[in-house]
Chains A and B, each alone.
Chain A
Amino acid sequence: MAIAQLKDVKKVYPLGKTEVHALKGVSFEIEKGDFVSIAGPSGSGKSTILNLLGCIDTASSGQVVINGIETSSLNDKQITNLRHEVLGFIFQSFNLIPVLSVFENVEFPLLLGNNPMSKRETKEWVDYLIDAVGLADWSTHKPNELSGGQRQRVAIARALATKPSIVMADEPTANLDSVTSGAIIDLMKRMNRELETTFIFSTHDQDIVDIADHVIRLQDGLIIKDYKTNGHVSVEPQVAKVGA
């Protein structure tokens, strides 16, 4: 069953008197539990797709379906709830709240909406996540006391705090060295397996792309390849659709 789906999605950004066609009609499906890489060079539309899948931006046309819900019909409150309950985010620049400790940062998403867990359960869950990302000894530290890799680990734990169905990661290793990048991707992969959470991340690093079990390659706002590493999923080249 598809947990996320884009149907002929186009995205146009106004730029002065001209328009930039970031996505020129993109369609794909992502299955629950997939570890998905959206790959492509800069300006290919990776971040735009993540923004649309993450419900933090709207398509100019086409449909974005998350968890069976067509998102264009939702109002701001509903879409915010959807983000809170279904989606988790990992950002390129970590985007931790600087005044909160590691524990508080991980706990933070739980405080943004209805948290079904008791105080004790919350603490146990947050501690589990922090332990799972290897930061048990850093729980009381502030983000500025951590290395880049450690911060991204906190961000991963935070993204998983609300037990989302999908975690979006926008170039999560872009600001990290290669060793740390590998460790972060390994961690995401482990979380993907252990929690059966769907991970969708954008990258232009070929080594990381190859770890994904579903790869969507973009170029100039179009999908040029959409395949699973355990079995190639071919799609029609969409170049012909440019301008359609």
Chain B
Amino acid sequence: MNILWKIAWRNLREHKTKTLIIGILVALGVSLVVIGNSVLESVTRGMEASYVENFTGDLIVRNTSDEDVAFIGAFGAAPDAVEGYSAVTNYLDGQETVQDYTPLLTGMASVNQNNETLSFAFLWGIQPSTYFEMFPDKFLVTQGERLTDGETGIMLSQGVVDDVLSEHGLELEVGQTINLFAQNDTTGTKIREVEIVGIGYYENAAGLLDRISLVDANTLRSLSGLTAVKVDTRSRSEAADTSDSALFGGGNDELFSDSLFSDAETSEATAELDFDNILGDTSIRDEFLALDNNAWHFLLLDTKGNTAGLTSELESLEGSSLVIENWRWGAGFIADLAYNIRNILNIIIGVIAIVAVIIIMNTLVISVTERMGEIGTIRAMGGQKNFVRGMITVEVLTITLLFGLVGIAAGSLTIGALNLLGLPASNLFLQVLFGGSTLKPILSISSLFLSIIAVTIIGVLASLYPTSVALGVSPVQAMQRK
């Protein structure tokens, strides 16, 4: 084996130009793999850490749904409330892998004041005590106070406040009230007046994440139509029928009968209508339109250790129909974007690898052709085909691994420099991707291994055809070398 490496190494030194052409190509490709994957891994790692620590926790428990539901505001359909919420929390309380959990509601509303639409906000309805225990100091309060359990109010995001100031010249402050307008399928348009109890922001919340405001749960339940009716969809239709009857009397025919309107139109004496009598007893309606205090869209879990068992048990919990998601689902299209960019990068790397294989292969074929006499001599002297195969393979692996290491070194140095200097996010797209204004990429160890594996595969693939050419060299060609 020693002689193979010796011949390979000396041949590479002997043919410097050829070696450099192949080497530069390999080194460039490898450094691209290292830099690209390190940057994108830093992006996804940063994104994961940011989401897990600030927004999603380790796991998100939600109800199953046929639709793509939203974790943040309007990026999907409104989720159903978690079925059997109490049973789920009882289960979670007994799990060692669950360190902490907090329920969450999601929604979106326009922010109005004095009949003027000022902005819009993504709303998260929280249970303040558990939320701030699980995410302490993540929502940095710049004015006012945090919400407390049972308090009605909103912790408005700094992004909304800044938007209102720049667009309308209005400075929203703690203590003021704003109106939140939202629509839902159950109760239609809802308006709720809330007091601004605090103003703050999530650190590293780029893009639209800076519009997340925290609101008391009942305000968002009301805006979202999370009533008792909404919670139990099976009983809703039955209840709705009863409610309609109670509300509107005997039915549509009776409600819209001629007698009702003709009387109203024709008789002054009937001007004073007995609404209580017409509407009947509204207690059932009130009961069904009452907010369900157990209605939560999500449960965010802070876990430790292996959660595979927890996940499968939660998903098969009796009386519930749950899906367990992670931060990536919570991040939605932003995470998909990062992963898609990574996939695109890998496709580009794949194309470069194919080009590299072709170039290396062609160069090697020329090299083999030039050395047919030498190969023929080796075969004539008793060198088996395996020796020739080894000679070519070792030569290719030497050049690819050697320059692969050069590429790894160059890529690592570049990542080191970028880490020191910081990669600025010059536009909103990059801010969303980086999760902030700068990215300090960290060298991806997996990309180093990936690069070494990639160059080895490139080397082996590139050597296949030249090797077959070399193996076809007859010892007679040694004799024909004059």
Task: Give A contacts to B, CB under 8 Å.
Answer: 47, 50-51, 54, 56-57, 76-77, 80-81, 83-85, 87-89, 91-93, 95, 97-100, 104, 108-109, 111-113, 158, 162, 170
Q: How far is the CB of A3 from chain B (nearest CB, A)?
A: 18
Interface centre among A89, A104, A158, A162, by most B CB within 10 Å?
A: A89
Whether A98 contacts B14 by the Cβ 8 Å rule is yes
Q: Distance in Å from the Cβ of A74 to the closest Cβ of chain B?
A: 13
Of the candidates B11, B381, B387, B476, which one forms a contact with A99 in the assembled complex, judged by CB atoms under 8 Å apart?
B11
Q: How far is the CA of A89 from the CA of B475 in the complex (A)?
A: 11
Q: B384 near A100 (CB under 8 angstroms)?
A: no
With A89-B381, A91-B478 given, name 8 new contacts (CB 8 A).
A56-B476, A76-B385, A80-B385, A83-B381, A83-B382, A87-B382, A99-B7, A108-B3
A113 with B479: in contact, given A99-B14, A100-B10 (CB under 8 Å)?
A: no
Q: Contact flags (1/0) for B462-482 with A, using CB distance below 8 Å?
A: 000000000000111011011
Q: Which of B378, B380, B384, B476 has the most CB of A within 10 A?
A: B380
Evaluate contact between A56 and B380: CB separation under 8 angstroms.
yes
Closest chain B residue to A107 by CB distance?
B3
**In contact, A112 and B481 (Cβ under 8 angstroms):** no
Q: A97-B374, A99-B7, A100-B7 are in contact. Are A109 and B381 (CB under 8 A)?
A: yes
A91, B384: Cα distance in complex, Å: 19
A164 to B404, CA, bound (A): 43
Q: Is the CB of B476 within 8 A of A97?
A: no
A56 touches B478 (CB 8 A): yes
A112 contacts B373, CB within 8 Å? Answer: no
Given A50-B479, A97-B7, A98-B14, A89 and B384 contact (CB-CB distance below 8 Å)? no
- B383: interface (CB < 8 Å): yes
The secondary-structure label for the interface of chain A is: mixed
CB pairs A–B below 8 angstroms (13 shown): A56-B474, A80-B382, A83-B382, A83-B475, A84-B382, A88-B381, A92-B482, A93-B481, A95-B373, A97-B378, A99-B14, A109-B382, A112-B378
B471 to A, closest residue via Cβ: A76
How far apart sit A87 and B382, CA to CA, in the bound complex (Å)? Answer: 9
Residues from 380 to 417 in B contacting A, C-beta threshold 8 Å: 380-385, 387
B1 CB to nearest A CB, Å: 10
**Residues of chain A contacted by B475 (CB below 8 angstroms):** 54, 56-57, 83
Q: Given known contacts A93-B373, A99-B14, A100-B10, is B383 in contact with A112 (CB within 8 Å)? A: yes
Least CB distance from A86 to B in Å reads 9
CA of A187 to CA of B422, assembled, Å: 73
For residue B385, which residues in chain A have a CB less than 8 angstroms away from its CB? Answer: 76-77, 80
- Range of interface residues on B (Cβ < 8 Å): 20 to 34
> Taking the complex as formed, is B377 at the interface, i.e. its CB lies under 8 A from any CB of chain A?
yes
Tell me the minimal C-beta distance from A64 to chain B in angstroms. 14
Q: Which residues of A contact B383 (CB under 8 A)?
A: 80, 84, 112
Expressed in whole angstroms, the minimum distance between the Cβ of B470 and any Cβ of chain A is: 14
Partner of A91, one of B10, B11, B479: B479
Majority DSSP secondary structure for residues of B touching A: helix
The interface residues of chain B lying within 8 Å CB-to-CB of A83 are 380-382, 475
Instruction: Decide: B382 and A54 in contact? CB cutoff 8 A.
Output: no
CA distance A19 to B379 in the complex (A): 27
CB distance from A142 to the nearest CB of B (A): 9
Chain B interfacial positions (CB closer than 8 Å to A): 3, 6-7, 10-11, 13-14, 373-374, 377-385, 387, 474-476, 478-479, 481-482
Q: A93-B373, A95-B373, A98-B14 are in contact. Are A112 and B381 (CB under 8 A)?
A: yes
Q: Are A89 and B380 in contact (CB under 8 A)?
A: yes
User: In the complex, which residue of chain A has the Cβ closest to the Cβ of B383?
Assistant: A112
Contact of B481 among A57, A84, A91, A162 (CB under 8 A): A91
B372 to chain A, nearest CB (A): 11
Q: A56-B474, A56-B476 in contact; A81/B382 too (CB < 8 A)?
A: yes
| Distance in angstroms between the alpha carbons of A195 and B288 in the assembled complex | 113
Nearest CB of chain B from residue A98's CB, rounded to whole Å: 7
Closest to A171 in B: B482
Measured between beta carbons, the chain A residues less than 8 angstroms from B479 are: 47, 50-51, 54, 56, 91-92, 170
**Nearest CB of B to A38, in Å:** 13
Chain B residue numbers with a CB within 8 Å of A97 are 7, 374, 377-378
Chain B residues contacting A89 (CB-CB under 8 Å) are 377, 380-381, 478
Residue of A nearest to B385 (CB): A76
Q: How far, in whole Å, are A80 and B381 apart by their CA atoms in the complex?
A: 8
* CA distance in complex: A214, B384 (Å): 32
**CB nearest neighbor in B for A85:** B382
- A80 & B10 in contact (Cβ 8 Å cutoff): no
B474 near A84 (CB under 8 angstroms)? no
A67 to B10 alpha-carbon distance, docked (Å): 37
Q: CB within 8 A of B382: which of A91, A93, A99, A112? A: A112
Q: Which residue of A has the minimal Cβ distance to B382? A: A84
Which 5 A-B pairs give the minimum distances between C-beta atoms? A84-B382, A99-B10, A56-B475, A95-B377, A83-B382
Residue of A nearest to B13 (CB): A99
Complex: A76 Cα to B481 Cα, angstroms: 22
- Max count, chain B CB within 10 A of own CB: residue among A92, A99, A104: A99
CA distance A87 to B10 in the complex (A): 28
- What separation, in Å, do the CA atoms of A89 and B380 have in the docked complex? 7
- Inside 8 A of B474's CB, which chain A residues have their CB? 56-57
Q: Are B384 and A77 in contact (CB under 8 A)?
A: yes
Please report the C-alpha to C-alpha distance between residue A88 and residue B382 in the assembled complex, in whole angstroms: 9
Question: How far does the alpha carbon of A57 sit from the alpha carbon of B381 in the complex, in Å?
Answer: 13
Query: In the complex, what residue of chain B is closest to A162 when comparing beta carbons?
Result: B382
- How many Å lie between the Cα of A88 and that of B381 in the bound state? 7
What separation, in Å, do the CA atoms of A51 and B479 have in the docked complex?
Answer: 8
Q: Which residue of B lies closest to A47 (CB)?
A: B479
Q: A56-B474, A85-B382, A162-B382 are in contact. Are A95 and B11 (CB under 8 A)?
A: no
A99 / chain B contacts, CB cutoff of 8 Å? 6-7, 10-11, 13-14
Chain A, Cβ-Cβ closest to B2:
A111
**B10 proximity list for chain A (CB < 8 A):** 99-100
**With A56-B474, A97-B7, A99-B11 given, is the CB distance from A84 to B381 under 8 Å?**
yes
Do the beta carbons of A95 and B481 come within 8 Å of each other? yes
